[in-house]
Amino acid sequence: MIKQSFYATLSVVIGFVSGFFYTFGTAADQPNIVVILTDDQGYADISFNPDHPKEVSTPHMDALAEEGVFFSQAYTSGPVCSPTRAGIMLGQYQQRVGIYTAGDGGRGFDTEMSIFPSFLPDQYTSMAIGKWHLGLDNDYPELKWHAMNRGFDEAYKFMGRGGHNYFESKGVNGDDYAPIYRNKKRIPADEYEGYLTTRLTEEAISFIDRQKEDPFFLYLAYNAVHTPAQAPREDIDFYKNKYPYLSDTRAILMAMLYHLDKGVGAVVNKLKAEGIWDKTLLIFLTDNGGAGAMEANNGSLRGFKQMLYEGGIRTPWIVSWPAKFPGGRSIDTPVISFDILPTVLDALEIEVDRAFDGKSLLPLIEGAAQTHHAALHWDIAGPRKEWAVRQRDWKLFSSRGKQELYHLGKDPSEATDVIDLNPAKAKELLELHKKWKRDVEASAGK
């Protein structure tokens, strides 16, 4: 069983930054691309994880994991929403465009920088659905940061901030930062109805129905299970009655997760019903670790969203492409969210002139490679001045100037700081991170 290898021994990681130049195959050979990004889903809030709490049931995500390839050591490039999303769209460390925090993402980044859909062949139709959080449009009536001004053909989305009311078109706490747009037109409040997770699923299914004859790219960014804690009353009551030990917040989270899982299943079933499942490259992940405020469960991993401990940056991650590789297996090599764009370009046999930090996952999946990145880096700046670097099994973590060293192969829960026993390794990783930081800051023009 795949589940038995969920926490298997980490692989040694060696890699390099890759660069590309333009070519691609015929339209008939191109797969559909679907990226499903959930929000603040805990590492153990998927029942495919053998350590999940008994109240967690995600049969559709589990089925996807059983049919696809599960990455048991998958990371996001940030511990909060916007930085990770920027990294996915760029295929690079988001720090290269000056994004370290959710607030940075709200300010957007250079509109001259090409992002994900801009690299795809002309025959692809692309749609962004759900949470954007890569620039707010309050001060830009021309929708400067809108997904359709960044290469997407269609959109049903809200700009950000982080969360959104699940039952109304307005933003959280009544603010106006997050109206929902169909393409570039705001949806009036009196015309919006339903539960947002369900609405996003319906929009995804409609898009697939319209585009099923031609290649497409669907970026489905659910805002579930991000705050606010909102779900249909009957679903909350179901969890409270079945699991009376649950707090109100945890019961609501489970109800939100139920609708999220149902949505993932509906999208997969639509692809299968239309006969295009086999030719679809689908990547499922969440944008950061589970949030403590929502009582998410990250299993044995330490920490939550907003932290650079493993619980803040490890994510469930599934890749499926039935026509190209078999599923039903797990890969334990560390990978990271900005690997998605290079993976898609590799699948499409496209080479472009950007030097990506990400690397294609296909050699790992196809067994042509056993290693991936030489090291992975995180940096969220801010008052905590928090950063981390992982090289093979070693991880150096720093917050407020205090450094800690962990051997993830022996201590995946980061319970024992071994920096005093391994000062040379800590120094080596510190110098490695300093070099990385100089590089990304130079590319950001800082």
Rounded-to-integer distance, Cα 373 and Cα 367, Å: 16
- 330 Ramachandran zone, left/alpha/beta (phi>0; psi -120 to 50): beta
294 and 414 in a single domain? The answer is no
**Distance separating the N- and C-terminal Cα atoms of the chain:** 48
> Among all chains, which residue has been given the structure tokens 């706490």?
173
User: ∠278-364-113 over CA atoms, to 5°?
Assistant: 80
The CATH number linked to 155 is 3.40.720.10
Neighbours of 103 (CB within 10 A): 12
369 and 389 co-located in one domain: no
Tell whether 222 and 366 lie within a shared domain.
yes
Which of 314, 346, 374 is the C-terminal boundary of a domain? Answer: 374
Structure tokens, 48: 């495919």
pTM: 0.92
Q: Is residue 7 part of a domain?
A: no
* Same domain assignment for residues 37 and 169: yes
SS3 255: helix
E strands, 180-261, are 180-182, 185-186, 216-221
Chunk the chain into consecutive blocks of 10 residues (it has 446) and report each block's average pLDDT, rounded to whole numbers. 39 33 53 99 98 98 98 98 96 95 84 94 97 78 85 92 82 62 89 93 99 98 97 98 98 99 99 98 98 98 98 98 97 98 97 94 92 96 92 98 98 99 99 97 75
Number of domains present in the structure of the chain: 2
Residue the block writes with tokens 């015929």: 26
Residues 216 and 112 in one domain: yes
Beta carbons of 9 and 368 less than 8 angstroms apart? no
In a domain, 8, yes or no: no
Q: Are residues 297 and 158 part of one domain?
A: yes
Q: What is the DSSP letter of 94?
A: G
Domain range for 274 is 13-374
CATH number at residue 387: 3.30.1120.10
